């Protein structure tokens, strides 16, 4: 999740300080700085309820194998992967951006926003009472096109959430893809990095898009974003779900799994970092009363396995109870542990990486393990459906 802290600083020169009181009528009083949120406690990798991990810890730079499922322990020291750097002789893909105005969209028009976080519903402690108001917004769509793309061919692609803003493309991700594609460790894929409609969690547009347990956001991307990508850059994107992946961090991670879960005919490959598999859906939906916490509580264990390949990572200091709900469904480590165990029990192809000395978003571990994660994610492509 993203947290925004604003500090308003009042600047008064010496002469004003002598002649005017600090809280003069034409001056705004200073805004009290929000106290820093305490760092979440470190949760031991071998605590009760954790899956049994294959230990790679103590070996800086060591990553899980790219052809093996299961649960792995890495850290506490990390070495940035060489694939993050530009390499002489490696073809460089193009990175371009365009903007989408909510007023021109069919879904999520208008957006929503809140002024205050909200209060626990006294009739249902699993949800919040939040006052929202409509807002217009613009989102940036960043598109990476590999140098190896053949015009007219149907390209595999990955959709990533919380994409960069206009004029600030994520070149690190582009460099990783350049190198992995050149080494033939992943297919020559297009990357479509989509920013959210703004804000975070319950009552904000980002929360509505990412945390809602339905296929709506996948449908928005399918019907409104992807056609613009194809039109703007003269691309053709594959319709084969084996050639389509989703990726995200925090609520973007839950959005990635939600997209594939509710539309497995569209996406078969999922990559999540600190996935928000907790109770953060809003408004309340009685069909999925636990929000994304329901993935490991009910949906995965009680459903026929879907043809999904899922890579997950969490930090040992990941988020814990970041709001007022205190519903015992807001521990990111516990949620990811539970999800991994349920995936294993149902026979899914999954890999779960537990990162020591890492917080929400997995910190320095990301630069080490992202290339490995992408390679594992795309194993078997093109593969028999169901792999």
Return the bridge partners of 98, or none.
141
Q: SS3 of 180, please?
A: helix
Query: Parallel, antiparallel, or unpaired for β 111-114 and 94-101?
Result: unpaired
Give, rounded to a whole angstrom, the gap between the first and last alpha carbons of the chain.
31
Give the Cα separation of 82 and 66 in Å (integer). 16
Give the Cα separation of 90 and 224 in Å (integer). 33
DSSP string of 362-379?
Answer: -TTHHHHHHHHHHHHHTT
pLDDT of residue 220: 98
pLDDT of 366 over the 50 cut:
yes
Q: How far is CA 161 from CA 13, 255, 270, 271, in A?
A: 45, 8, 12, 11
Contact yes or no for 284/364 (Cβ under 8 A) = no
Q: SS3 of 61, please?
A: coil
Helix (H) or strand (E) holding 220: helix 216-220
Contact yes or no for 176/374 (Cβ under 8 A) = yes
Contact yes or no for 351/70 (Cβ under 8 A) = yes
Phi, then psi, of 123 in degrees rounded to 5:
-95, -10
Structure tokens at 330: 């807001």
The pLDDT tens digits for 161-201 are: 999 999 999 899 999 999 999 999 999 999 999 999 999 89
The pLDDT tens digits for 270-283 are: 999 999 999 999 99
Sign of dihedral through CA atoms 342, 347, 350, 351?
A: positive
Those residues with Cβ within 8 angstroms of residue 28's Cβ, 6 or more apart along the chain or in another chain: 8, 10
- Calculate mean pLDDT across residues 366-383: 92
The pLDDT tens digits for 54-84 are: 999 999 999 999 999 999 999 999 999 999 9
Domain boundaries, the chain: 54-377
Structure tokens at 1: 């999740």
CB atoms within 10 A of CB 198: 17
Q: Which CATH superfamily is domain 54-377 in?
A: Alpha/Beta hydrolase fold, catalytic domain (3.40.50.1820)
pTM: 0.88
Contact yes or no for 294/216 (Cβ under 8 A) = no
pLDDT of 7 over the 50 cut:
no
DSSP state of 243: G
Average of per-residue pLDDT values in the chain? 90
């Amino acid at each position: 999740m993203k947290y925004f802290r604003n500090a308003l600083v009042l600047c008064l020169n010496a002469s004003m300080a002598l002649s005017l009181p600090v809280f003069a009528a034409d001056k705004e009083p200073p805004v009290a700085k929000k106290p820093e949120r305490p760092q979440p406690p470190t949760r031991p990798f071998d605590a009760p309820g954790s899956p049994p991990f294959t230990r790679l810890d103590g070996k800086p730079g060591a990553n899980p194998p790219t052809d093996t499922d299961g649960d792995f322990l890495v850290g506490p020291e990390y070495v940035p992967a060489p694939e993050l750097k530009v390499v002489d002789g490696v073809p460089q893909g193009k990175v371009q951006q365009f903007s989408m105005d909510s007023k021109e969209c069919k879904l999520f028009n208008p957006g929503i926003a809140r002024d205050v976080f909200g209060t626990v519903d006294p009739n249902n402690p699993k949800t919040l009472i939040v006052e929202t108001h409509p807002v217009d917004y613009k989102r940036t769509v960043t598109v990476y096109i590999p140098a190896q793309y053949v015009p007219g061919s149907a390209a595999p692609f990955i959709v990533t959430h919380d994409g960069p803003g206009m004029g600030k493309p994520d070149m690190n991700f582009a460099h990783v893809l350049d190198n992995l594609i050149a080494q033939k460790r992943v297919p020559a894929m297009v990357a479509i990095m989509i920013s959210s409609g703004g804000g975070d969690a319950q009552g904000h547009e980002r929360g509505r898009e990412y945390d809602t347990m339905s296929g709506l956001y996948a449908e928005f991307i399918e019907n409104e974003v992807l056609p613009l990508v194809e039109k703007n850059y003269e691309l053709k994107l594959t319709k084969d779900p084996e050639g389509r992946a989703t990726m995200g961090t925090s609520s973007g991670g839950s959005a990635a799994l939600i997209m594939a879960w509710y539309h497995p005919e569209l996406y078969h490959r999922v990559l999540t970092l600190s996935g928000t598999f907790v109770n953060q859906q809003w408004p309340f939906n009685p069909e999925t009363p636990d929000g994304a916490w329901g993935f490991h509580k009910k949906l995965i264990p009680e459903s026929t396995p879907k043809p999904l390949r899922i890579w997950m990572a969490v930090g040992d200091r990941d988020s814990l109870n970041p709001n007022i709900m205190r519903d015992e469904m807001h521990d990111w480590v516990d949620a990811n542990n539970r999800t991994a165990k349920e995936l294993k029990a149902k026979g899914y192809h999954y890999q779960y990486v537990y990162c020591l000395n890492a917080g929400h978003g997995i910190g320095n571990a990301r630069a080490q393990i992202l290339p490995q994660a992408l390679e594992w994610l795309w194993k078997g492509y093109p593969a028999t459906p169901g792999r």
